[in-house]
Structure 1
Amino acid sequence: MPAQISYLLAIESSCDDTSCAILKNDKVLSNVTANQKVHQQYGGVVPELASRAHQSNIVPVVHTALAQANIDKKQLTAIAFTRGPGLMGSLLVGSSFAKSLSLGLEIPLIEVHHMQAHILAHFIDQGQKKPEFPFLALTISGGHTQIVKVTDHHKMEVIGSTMDDAVGEAFDKTGKILGLDYPAGPMVDSLSRKGNPHTFKFPIPKAPNLDYSFSGFKTSVLYFIQKNVKEDPEFIKKNLEDICASIQFTIINILFQKLEKAVEQTGIKSVAIGGGVSANSGIREKLLSKEKEGWTVFIPPFEYTTDNAAMIGISGYYKYLDQDFAGLDITATARIPM
């Protein structure tokens, strides 16, 4: 059994954010993230540029995290890192650094599944109520859309998933169609608050069981905009807020139709959300409204919605308690099942 007090350093580098956190057991002492603005001009993350930026950012980010936590690296008891899924080049930077630090300090190495970590962010101790097992988790991000049945800190079953595109991509790509900058999701959310969600109607894609599909939805928005702009070149400018509100309203309906079905099928009314898109105000409001139907809902703080090392740290902490360590021969994996 490990010592009661553990100091764990966690590294997250799955996409374009370089992040390092220091945890004392299940409490976060520091959580430092370096963002990469270079991708905005390309309208999406460029993998090669992302991995190069990670190489530049990782040492100062780790140094800052240790300084903010007022912890010397010799006090660390374990190193956790994101093994996958993610961009291979980005993952290699984080995993290589983590393995080197683990070897140099002669302390255990812990590999973490990125999407599991989004779910376990709810267990970071901030004095809040935490989910009880079993519960359902809706993980929504730029690369994933999943409904997960969670029965333990590391026992999770995906019971629904996207068949094509993720919800975050649906927000970003439809926003791009409207001429919004990358990432467009937050701007769609902001503009939608001023619009009427019932002004325009978009179709709800059909997908089997608890699975999702967003590719057809994106196409319907594209054809809708092309048709109306052809008739009125000023159509987007005149109706931007209403278009955004209608897009967001439809996406939320797509998400919750399947989530409601999952609750009905499993009988589990304890529901949590996680991932970057869980910062969306409309999704948060919709989930909170389900409390009137007897759901118990869990919404993460904004700082733990986007990719961050604190969520990697809490996932690593529970593995540390189980003595679930990785060898130095562990490799990063771009695609890894839940």
Structure 2
Amino acid sequence: MTGAETKPTAKSDQLRILLVDDQREILNVLTEVFQQESWKVFVATDGAHALRIMSTEKFDAIVTDLNMPRMGGLEFLGHAKVNHLNKKAKFFILSGALDADNLKRITGIGVASVILKPFDPGNVLNKIKEKCIAAATTAPAKTTVSYDAAIIRAVTAAMQEIIKFYLGDGLEIGKPYVKSGSAAKGYFSAVIPLNQGQAMGSVGFSCNTNFLKRLAVSIFGDSEPTLTPDLIRDLAGEMCNQISGKIKINFTKIDYYVNIGLPQVVVGENHSVTHPGKSPIIVIPMTSNECKFVLEFTMNGSLVKGKPEGMKDEPEGEQQDLTSGALFF
């Protein structure tokens, strides 16, 4: 796709988009979504192909994958920046997994947004609208990280249901953010591994002692519980079982099937928690009266919709007991 050099536009119904990805399915899906907005869409299957297009065309937004043959996304982005190609374009990164080093490099060279696979095409559309249209009237925004909104909603809803069951109404959910470092946000933490084929991730939660005491009152009826090691172990098992079961149910509702691993539990002041892989960790803070807790989620690789071949159905109503296998630290 070449021709006379054209200028980009900031109007939402006339945006010019360059899509760079070696997966034809992704190119087709995003092209269809963008063309419904009357946007002009160009496609390239690797970074070298994209650079040739950029030599004669100007764009408002460039959406690129990281891992591609011949020339990957970071190399492509570096060439575009060094050669001052399309300096006013906003760059958006698509990636199935992103380690801390790559995230630092991406942030340092001015990427508008990082969108992690699997993604919601509507989320990509909204990110482009937000960054490109707002760019004409506001200062540049910080790099953001996005997961498929349906997955985040499924994880958050699982925690909401459990908290409401034990503590009642009054739950307040804060603004999600990307975690920095490994320090926990509470006295008690658990990390529950998730996997599907080559994709692996985890759900974690941390809470303060007020939450543990309220949980003990709700489960055991003790009006003034003492947080002994045995009691904390029982509470940990209950929470891990509940969260694992709810997440599996909620994921199945949106056609994602995952395996749940044995949780790791850490107790004590000023402890840290680690998640598998190197992808960014999304943190969702929650409060209910004096009970504070955070929900954490990360995924390395892309989840695939539909039940994987060979995955067995669990008997209806049966839930895996993770209490005895939990690893305590």
TM-score (norm 1): 0.27
TM-score (norm 2): 0.28
Higher relative contact order (CA 8 A, sep 6+): 1
Larger Rg: 2
Structure number having the greater strand percentage:
2
Structure number having the greater helix percentage:
1
